[in-house]
Amino acid sequence: MTIDHNQLRLLPSVDELLQLPATQTLVAQFSRKLVLQTIRASLADARAAIRAGATCPALEALLTDIEERLTQQQQPSLRPLINATGVIINTNLGRAPLSQTALQAVQQVASGYANLEYELEQGERGSRHTHVRHLLQELTGAEAALVTNNNAAAVLLSLSTLAQGREVIISRGQLVEIGGGFRVPDVMRQGGCQLIEVGTTNRTRIRDYEAALSARTALLLTVHPSNFLITGFTESTPISELAQLAHKHGLLVMDDLGSGCLLNSEHYGLGHEPTPQESLLAGADVVCFSGDKLLGGPQAGLIVGKAEVIARIAKHPLMRAMRIDKMTLAALEATLRHYQRDEATTHIPVWRMISARPERLASRAHAWVTRLQENGVVAHTQRGESTVGGGSLPGETLPTTLLALDASRLSLPLTELSKRLRSRSIPIITRISRDSLLLDPRTVFEEQDEEVLRALREVCL
């Protein structure tokens, strides 16, 4: 192909572009360094296009390209979005949103100094672990409590403290894998303990644990299979029976609950999700669970249980590597106080979504359709199901009303429509099912409704 050098000569120089008033405005906004880099990149692409047969772009087109590149480059990598998937605890989308009270608490302690490790009354150094200890004791009935940076850390720290160099007995049906290929057996090995599997995948009885006891046994471990179901011919051993057996032989029982539910999930049309309170009442010595799943708070690993056991865990050298920061503590304390005040379902977003009334969801979905149709976008509602997600309550769903956009009524393929919604300054994440693009109002905050409608109008018309 013959290169048109005349078209190449028409391209302005870097200095010519830099001196333009519009470019100087960008310099003031983004810095001279970034604007220079972007001008050079834009001109390089324009030269490549001309060599491939294109004509020289107009000056206005170059300036627009430079501005769009700068805006795109300076978008935060981690930024807020709208979750219209209907998956309440969506791990890929950041799990549990924080309450407004928790956000305010984070801002207050993050904007200056705070008494993170300082005792105000005594005027001397204190411990960061005291800030939520009493709340966790009150809410779970535990003798003591400790917090790490996530539940995997809580489990690893507990096993490293209580069973390093010794045996841990666990049912084969509880050797689970959670997101990202994270497996319980791997955590146990990292904790320096020897895994002893008992029973079968679907049935494990108390006599299986008893037969596996030895002089090297440190504890019996139970892991809640929170992200899958085994149904049919099944049997598992209650924690109360494990506790009787373990305590008879001077051993400990540890329960990895995972999702960390403090409320009775059955009150909200869901199956039963085990709670830390139940586990402790049944005799567990230490219970670990997450802060950013059904608890509805920030990412954290909560450890509750017997005072002597928790004290041992707190002294382990790994505790410093796994401790949480002041912002996490502030958000966690604010979240726990919602439970203390019996306001979880009105203030914690996860529980507001779970407890949302079906008729309210239907009203919002119908309002969306009406507004869209007024603007020429063909849409309709249909019945659907929301899920809790986040490795919690597998197989359990909540009835909802969905907004549906059918492929047959759209000028764009659904995949392209979904991509355009994801590419907005405020991305909107949807799901595609049976030739329809679906949006679930359950996971869309009501104050986000206008942005959703604006986005759908812009990408569909």
- Helices 59-73, 21-30: inter-axial angle, 10-degree rounding: 0
Query: Is residue 50 within 8 Å of 4, Cβ to Cβ?
Result: yes
Q: List, in order, residues 6 or more apart from 304 with CB less than 8 Å away.
A: 136, 137, 140, 142, 144, 145, 146, 276, 280, 286, 287, 310
Would the pLDDT of 221 be above 70? yes
The beta-strand segments (E) located in 235-367 are: 252-258, 286-290, 301-305
- Torsion sign, CA atoms 405, 406, 409, 415: positive
Q: Which residue has the higher pLDDT, 56 or 461?
A: 56
Match 């998956």 to its residue by tokens: 87
Would the pLDDT of 331 be above 80? yes
User: pLDDT grade, residue 192 (50/70/90)?
Assistant: confident
- Residue 328, helix vs strand vs coil: helix
Q: At 286, phi and psi to the nearest 5?
A: -145, 135
Q: List, in order, residues 6 or more apart from 324 with CB less than 8 Å away.
A: 128, 147, 148, 149, 300, 332
Would the pLDDT of 224 be above 90? no
The beta-strand segments (E) located in 190-251 are: 194-198, 217-223
User: What pLDDT was estimated at residue 231?
Assistant: 55
CA distance 37 to 381: 48
pLDDT digit string, tens, across residues 403-422? 999 988 888 899 999 999 99
User: What pLDDT was estimated at residue 2?
Assistant: 67
- Residue 37, helix vs strand vs coil: helix
Average the pLDDT over each of 175-189, 198-212, 272-286, 427-441 and give the range with the smallest value: 175-189
pLDDT digit string, tens, across residues 420-452? 999 998 999 999 998 999 999 999 999 999 999
- Integer-rounded Cα Rg, in Å, for the chain is 28
Would the pLDDT of 240 be above 70? yes
Residues in the chain: 461
What is the pLDDT averaged over residues 64-89? 94
Q: At 261, phi and psi to the nearest 5?
A: -85, 130
What is the pLDDT averaged over residues 219-235? 70
pLDDT digit string, tens, across residues 23-50? 999 999 999 999 999 999 999 999 999 9
Determine if the pTM surpasses 0.75. Answer: yes
Mean pLDDT comparison of 226-235, 300-309, 389-398, highest-scoring range: 300-309
Average the pLDDT over each of 196-210, 225-239, 264-278, 377-391 and give the range with the smallest value: 225-239
Match 């679907």 to its residue by tokens: 202
- Residue 284, helix vs strand vs coil: coil
User: What pLDDT was estimated at residue 180?
Assistant: 56
Match 């890929």 to its residue by tokens: 92
User: pLDDT grade, residue 174 (50/70/90)?
Assistant: confident
Average pLDDT value for the chain: 92
**What distance lies between CA 223 and its chain's CA centroid?**
20
The letter for the amino acid at 356 is: A
In sequence order, which ranges of 92-146 are alpha helices (DSSP H)?
100-110, 133-140
User: pLDDT grade, residue 232 (50/70/90)?
Assistant: low
Q: How far is CA 171 from CA 201, 229, 240, in A?
A: 8, 15, 15
Query: Is residue 263 within 8 Å of 335, Cβ to Cβ?
Result: no
**Tokens for 29?**
């906004």
CA distance 362 to 364: 5
CA distance 301 to 14: 53
